Amino acid sequence: MPTTQVQQSSLPERGIAKAPTGVAGLDEITNGGLPRGRPTLVCGSAGCGKTLLSIEFLVRGATEYQEPGVFMAFEETAEELTQNVRSLGFDLNKLVRQKKLALDFVRVERSEIEETGEYDLEGLFIRLNAAIESVGAKRVVLDTIEALFAGLENEGILRAELRRLFRWLKDKGVTAIITAERGDGTLTRRGLEEYVSDCVILLDNRVIDEVSTRRIRIVKYRGTTHATNEYPFLIDEEGFSVLPVTSLGLEHEASEGRVSSGVPRLDTMLGGEGFYRGSTILLSGTAGTGKTSLSAHFVSAACERGERCLYFAFEESPGQLIRNMRSIGLDLAKCVKKGLLNIHSSRATFYGLEMHLALIHKMVQEFKPDIVVADPIGALVAAGTRRDANLMIIRLIDFLKMRGVTTMLTNLTPGGAALERTDVDISSIVDTWLLLRDIELGGERNRALYVLKSRGMRHSNQLREYLLTDHGVELLDAYMGPEGVLTGSSRMSLEARERAAVLASQQESERKQRERERKREALEARIVALRKEFESEETESEFRAAEDVARRQQLEDDRRNIAVSRHADEGNGAARSRRKMSTK
Amino acid sequence: MKKSQLKAPLPLDELAHSASATDAEKWDLRLYVAGQTPRSVAAFANLKRLCEEHLAGRYNIEVIDLLKHPQLAAGDQILAIPTLVRKLPQPIRKIVGDLRDTERALVGLQLRPGKT
């Protein structure tokens, strides 16, 4: 029993101890932070954010983790540094006053220095030590120590001393960041990676197609697992943030709940109930097919239900969108006023991709929407390369899915391009894909819609024409012609023909009805005539029968009278007549 | 002029006289060391000899042990040990090392024009 306990308690210590940086996202990709008590090398070319990353490491350490820090600058003076980071909301002076931070500026000017004989860098050690002790520092940044190579001639001494310095930092137990310029084909210009080998982080600022993207990568991290990808990061008014969301989070819960598309007949096409909640819906189509209008329906219906919507418009301003949607009878202004709808407009080219992504992340985290619309998602290609845009959108979709947000993306299919593809190649990761297209028939273009795919539901396979009316999107009945679905005037003429046919058949049946009526009347007339004939015959025969009776009676009377006149025996006569009657 | 001084050190009254001349400023030197290491002892000895030879009577050497006064390192931007700082005459000059190479030390102190 005790042994298992020991094993359990020693488990977390098996990996190396880490010092959380507090820099958004960096702790995720390093699985907890930088190696505690060891130096980390941060390298990158000029202007890629090395100083900023390291200063934020110190500021977060001092303010969030109670770990005071020392910043030793070799390139900027303390005043310059303080001013530079003030724009990010870091008040270094205040931290210095609170004894949470010590700044030391080391200047080496080769023109002032003559070297004669042997020396060491004990002065640097003493200064660093004094600074560490003045605030009880747990974190140290040396930015950029390579400046020493420019100031001092004797590289042999310098290298030996640097090696000693990094050793000394380890012995001191401080978590250190050493920044270095990226060299030509090497990580650092002076080969510092040779001395600092526990953790190496590479920052990069690449310009592709005139759009710059900052990226961060962990080149190595001894003794621990870490993420190996390149991650975009950005520097905004709140500092440094890394976006470690490439992890294709396929662990999101699949909701059984449904959410209406806002167009009742479209819901019918989607298994009768609309989209799945938390799914990703792609609306793609050529220009002017009503992508935005359908999205607006979706949003408007959601707001009616009291759900929160975030609408990213990359091509229209909120005012324009509201005005345009009013023309199809949707009052988005009301939703905005109620605080349920937030329309965020920004040109795709205004920022780089990672900035867009970060912005969307931030707004989603703040606004907590149930529904997010990005219209049109393809516009983001303009903010980067297609590949990057694709990666970014996948990241975005995963992020939104994990939060259970129902996402509607619209995508413009360029004229002439294949309809069933998107310029950001995301069609395979969306759950429901509605294709909007125009059908050219009989000299006119009409809009039609169909459900190209919809995972997990019985969806309609019909191509349906729809109209943008002043009371919204209206799906029409499907009319099939010999060449496919009929739309517009063809549909109308077919409708007219059908109406005519119905009328004709109605008339025909009425005619038949009348004929039948006539026949029945004729029949009945004949029946009456026959009955009359029969009746007259009957009367005749009755009359004759009565005559017979009367004649017989007469005969009997006559006979009796004769008998009376003969005075015949009454009894005989009576018996005879009775016998005659019975034989009759 | 410097050369003549170097070859034949002047008597004290002569020095006072030359002190009023242009090149006879007071030399204020500061030697930064870190403890009594052989290197700092050597540096001090070399400096003393150099000054006696070239600046006899008009120099002042202040030795600062950074182990005792670490806060003084930042003021003169000291990194290397030992470092000799010429505070006066202006401008400030720094000579890093144990001053073993007298020629370079003289160049550094601008007691001799640089070779290149």
Please report, for the domain that includes residue B73, its CATH number: 3.40.30.10
Residue A248 has pLDDT above 70, yes or no: no
**B93–chain A nearest CA distance, Å:** 5
pLDDT (mean) for A293-314? 90
Compare B75 and A543 and report the one with higher pLDDT.
A543
How near does any CA of chain A get to the CA of B77, in Å?
6
Q: What integer is the mean pLDDT of A277-301?
A: 88
B96, B103, B104, B107: which to substitute to probe chain A, counting the most A Cβ within 10 Å? B96
Calculate mean pLDDT across residues B63-86.
Answer: 86
B100 part of a folded domain: yes
Q: What's the token pair of residue A98?
A: 């609170």
Q: Chain A contacts of B107, Cβ < 8 Å?
A: 114
Dihedral angle of Cα A480, A482, A486, A488, to the nearest 10 degrees: -150
Average pLDDT over residues A553-569: 85
A424 or A77: which carries more pLDDT confidence?
A77
Instruction: Let me know if residue B11 belongs to a domain.
Output: no
pLDDT interval class at A186 (50, 70, 90):
confident
Query: What pLDDT score does A227 carry?
Result: 75
- The confidence score (pLDDT) of residue A77 equals 84
Mean pLDDT value across residues A283-287? 84
Give the per-residue pLDDT at A10.
36
Assigned domain for B102 exists: yes
pLDDT of residue A581: 53
Higher pLDDT, A195 or B29: B29
Q: Do B73 and A112 touch (CB under 8 A)?
A: no
ipTM: 0.76
Chain B (1-30) residues lying within 8 Å, Cβ to Cβ, of chain A: none
pLDDT at A533 > cutoff 90? yes
The reported pLDDT for the residue numbered A4 is 36
Total domain count, chain B? 1
Please answer yes or no on whether A119 and B34 come within 8 Å at the CB atom.
no
Band the pLDDT of B13: cuts 50, 70, 90.
very low
Quick check: A130 and B71 CB within 8 A? yes
**Domain for residue B19, yes or no?**
no
Residue A140 has pLDDT above 90, yes or no: yes
Length of chain B in terms of residues written: 116
By CB atoms closer than 10 A (0-12, 13-18, 19+), residue A5 is exposed
Residue A306 contacts residue A340 (beta carbons within 8 Å)? yes
Residue among A278, A222, A254 at smallest CA distance from A38: A222
Looking at the domain assignment, is residue B38 inside a domain? yes
What's the mean pLDDT in A232-253? 66
Other CB atoms within a 10 A radius of the CB of residue A521 amount to 10
Using 50, 70 and 90 to split pLDDT, how confident is the model at A1? very low
Res A423 pLDDT > 80: no
* pLDDT average, residue stretch A156-179: 90
CA distance A246 to A241: 14
Please judge whether B73 and A106 are an interchain contact, meaning their C-beta atoms are less than 8 angstroms apart: no
Q: 10 Å Cβ neighbour count for A283?
A: 28
CB contact under 8 A, A122 and B97: no
For residue B51, give its domain range: 29-108
Backbone angles phi, psi at A559, to 5 degrees: -60, -45
Closest of B39, B19, B22, B20 to residue B31, by C-alpha: B39
Phi, psi of A288 (to 5 degrees): 70, 25
At A80, list the tokens. Answer: 């310059």
Answer whether residue B17 is part of any domain.
Answer: no
A to B CB pairs, distance under 8 Å = 96
From A130's Cα to the closest Cα of chain B, the distance in A is 6
Confidence of residue A185 (pLDDT cuts 50, 70, 90): confident
Buried b (16+ CB within 10 A) or exposed e, B4-42: ebeeeeeeeeeeeebeeeeebeebebbbbbbeebebbeb
| A480-485: average pLDDT | 65
Pair of tokens at residue A263: 């167009």
Which one-letter amino acid corresponds to residue B32? Y
Distances from the Cα of A246 to the Cαs of A33, A230, A402, in angstroms? 18, 9, 13
Mean pLDDT for chain A overall? 82
pLDDT band for position A485 (50/70/90)?
low
Q: Is residue B4 part of a domain?
A: no
Strands B93-96 and B83-88: antiparallel
Query: Does residue B68 lie in a domain region?
Result: yes
The more confidently predicted of residues A535 and A473 is A535
Q: Specify the residue for token string 């303009």.
A: A382
Top-confidence range, A89-98, A423-432, A457-466, B2-11: A89-98
Sequence-distant (6+) residues with CB within 8 A of A426 are: A282, A377, A390, A393, A394, A397, A409, A411
Report the pLDDT averaged over residues B74-86.
86
Residue B12 pLDDT: 41
Nearest Cα to A174, choosing from A134, A145, A136? A136
* Calpha distance A92→A553 (Å, rounded): 152
Is B95 close to A124, i.e. CB distance below 8 A? no
pLDDT of residue A46: 81
